[in-house]
């Protein structure tokens, strides 16, 4: 039960806002007014105001651009004191690119509660190259939740993606981009048909994502589910991801990243990299991938680094454990000669050093006769690579017309250590 206390200020009423009070059952709505002050719960005094985008002019008709209404609600909430938030009620909202920027110095936390269906503008001239459709930046204690959907409407943009042919291609917008956030939580949302990546986590600390639903067609280009770069303390769990590219990609400069209970597929699997493409990339260290299922993907667990890296870097202390592979083409792969283009002229070995990598309790079926590929750099051979209890059977399929009975391993520039039982047989 909540009660206003006389010692905590006056009541301020305005028809522009909708307020929610924190109760034991969650946010409770009081229509048509905002109360400014502190409200008593059994847990103490908690200021709590939620700003409804419809009160700021959002049409929610799926045709009118509601970007200004969303930004007005954010700006009002960002200046409010205490625990605040933005409510997107049920309905269909069209948005152009929007950036919800902080810092929100007076707010102790900000909740973006999307219960609606958000559609991205298909006019590519509105977007900055490499930017996001919806960006959250420089904010402490953000929570994005509500069960709503973010639809990037990528089908009209995918034909303009030429990144598979042009190393200097113009990047299309990411659905949700989190920039320099601390203590952000993203929970219980859906992202579909992004023009490029679905979710990007860049320069963040203590980021938590869970119960995410991410999907795009298997042939959609560069629609990575979640991309993490230059971030520390990232935890992604209990999510379903199926796209046209990596379910999750761990880029350069990351540390202490944990991925658990991810159902991945279709797509390109869970990847570290690609690394070593640009000068002065940061190292990757402290990655754990555990209790995941990867189904009908081009790759399972893959570590990929470019040939002819412009500078040295490293990736170390990585564990992949208790992972099920269902009909995966390349279940375990280290590829230090990565090149996604049709022709790559350079023969200079990768300068990314890989070490302390453990694959443990990996089981399932492989579409490829070579189920384990460890192709390390000639200049910097992989060190301390362990495979423990790997069991990958060959799936009989059109790719196995010869009827090969078992899988095999391929190793270059690495002396891997094999522990326990193994199918395929260890490298000689």
pLDDT score of 428? 82
Match 């709590």 to its residue by tokens.
48
Tell me the mean pLDDT in the region 200-209: 98
63 an active-site residue?
no
Cα 82 to chain centroid distance, Å, stands at 29
Distance between CA 246 and CA 299 in Å, rounded? 9
Backbone angles phi, psi at 159, to 5 degrees: -60, -20
pLDDT score of 4? 35
Match 């992004």 to its residue by tokens.
194
* Residue 186 bridge partners (DSSP): 144, 209
pLDDT at 79 over 80: yes
Distance between CA 77 and CA 26 in Å, rounded? 19
| Residue 78: both structure tokens together | 């960002």
Residue range 417-428, pLDDT digits in tens: 999 999 999 998
Tell me the mean pLDDT in the region 342-360: 89
Contact 348, 311 (CB under 8 A): no
For 255, counting Cβ atoms within 10 Å of its Cβ (0-12 exposed, 13-18 middle, 19+ buried), the class is: middle
Determine which one of 63, 198, 227, 268 is catalytic: 268
Match 């280009």 to its residue by tokens.
221
pLDDT score of 70? 98
Distance between CA 51 and CA 29 in Å, rounded? 11
Greater pLDDT, 211 or 37: 211
Q: Which DSSP state fits 90?
A: S
Residue range 96-126, pLDDT digits in tens: 999 999 999 999 999 999 999 999 999 999 9
Cα 237 to chain centroid distance, Å, stands at 11
Residue range 378-394, pLDDT digits in tens: 999 999 999 999 999 99
Q: What single string gives the DSSP state of each residue in 361-390?
A: EEEEEESSSEEEEEE--SSS-BEEEEEEEE
Cα 83 to chain centroid distance, Å, stands at 26
Distance between CA 327 and CA 298 in Å, rounded? 9
pLDDT score of 404? 56
pLDDT score of 17? 43
Distance between CA 372 and CA 234 in Å, rounded? 28
Greater pLDDT, 299 or 397: 299
pLDDT score of 102? 97
Distance between CA 185 and CA 319 in Å, rounded? 24
| Residue 15: both structure tokens together | 């028809």
Tell me the mean pLDDT in the region 335-362: 90
pLDDT class of 340 with cuts at 50, 70, 90: confident
In the predicted model, what is the mean pLDDT of the chain?
89
Tell me the mean pLDDT in the region 74-82: 95
pLDDT at 255 over 80: yes
Residue range 5-57, pLDDT digits in tens: 333 333 333 334 444 444 433 444 433 334 344 444 444 334 479 999 999 99
Distance between CA 279 and CA 310 in Å, rounded? 5
pLDDT score of 39? 42
Contact 326, 364 (CB under 8 A): yes
Match 């391929």 to its residue by tokens.
410
């Amino acid at each position: 039960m909540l009660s206003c206390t006389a010692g905590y200020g006056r009541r301020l009423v305005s028809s522009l806002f909708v307020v929610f009070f924190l109760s034991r059952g969650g946010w409770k709505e009081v229509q048509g007014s905002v109360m400014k002050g502190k409200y008593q719960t059994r847990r103490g005094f908690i200021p709590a105001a939620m700003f409804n985008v419809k009160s700021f002019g959002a049409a929610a008709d799926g045709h009118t651009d509601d970007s200004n209404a969303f930004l007005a609600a954010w700006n009002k909430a960002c200046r409010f004191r205490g625990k605040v938030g933005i409510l997107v009620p049920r309905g269909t909202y069209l948005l152009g690119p929007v950036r919800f920027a902080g810092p929100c110095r007076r707010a102790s936390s900000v909740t973006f509660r999307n219960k609606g269906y958000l559609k991205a503008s298909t006019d590519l001239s509105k977007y900055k190259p490499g930017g996001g459709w919806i960006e959250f930046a420089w904010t402490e204690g953000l929570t994005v939740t509500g069960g709503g959907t973010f639809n990037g409407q990528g089908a009209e943009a995918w034909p303009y993606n030429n990144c598979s042919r042009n190393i200097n291609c113009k990047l299309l917008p990411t659905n949700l981009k989190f920039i320099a956030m601390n203590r952000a939580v993203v929970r219980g949302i859906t992202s579909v048909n992004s023009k490029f990546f679905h979710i990007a986590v860049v320069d963040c600390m203590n980021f938590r994502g869970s119960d995410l639903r991410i999907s795009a067609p298997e042939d959609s280009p560069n629609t990575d589910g979640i991309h993490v770069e230059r971030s520390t303390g990232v935890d992604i769990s209990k999510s379903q991801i199926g796209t046209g590219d990596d379910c999750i990609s761990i880029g350069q400069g990351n540390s202490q990243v944990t991925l658990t209970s991810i159902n991945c597929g279709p797509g390109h699997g869970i990847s570290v990299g690609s690394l070593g493409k640009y000068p002065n990339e940061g190292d990757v260290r402290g990655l754990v991938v555990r209790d995941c299922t990867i189904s009908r993907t081009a790759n399972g667990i893959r570590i990929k680094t470019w040939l002819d890296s412009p500078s040295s870097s490293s990736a170390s202390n990585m564990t992949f454990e208790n992972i099920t592979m269902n009909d995966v083409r390349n279940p375990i792969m280290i590829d230090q000669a990565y090149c996604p283009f049709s022709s790559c002229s350079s023969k200079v070995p990768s300068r990314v050093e890989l070490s302390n990598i453990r694959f443990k309790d990996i089981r399932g079926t492989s579409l490829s006769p070579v189920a384990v590929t460890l192709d390390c750099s000639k200049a910097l051979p992989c060190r301390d690579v362990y495979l423990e209890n790997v069991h990958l059977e060959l799936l009989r399929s059109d790719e196995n017309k010869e009827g090969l009975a078992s899988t095999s391993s391929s190793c270059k520039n690495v002396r891997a250590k094999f522990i326990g039982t193994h199918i395929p047989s260890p490298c000689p």
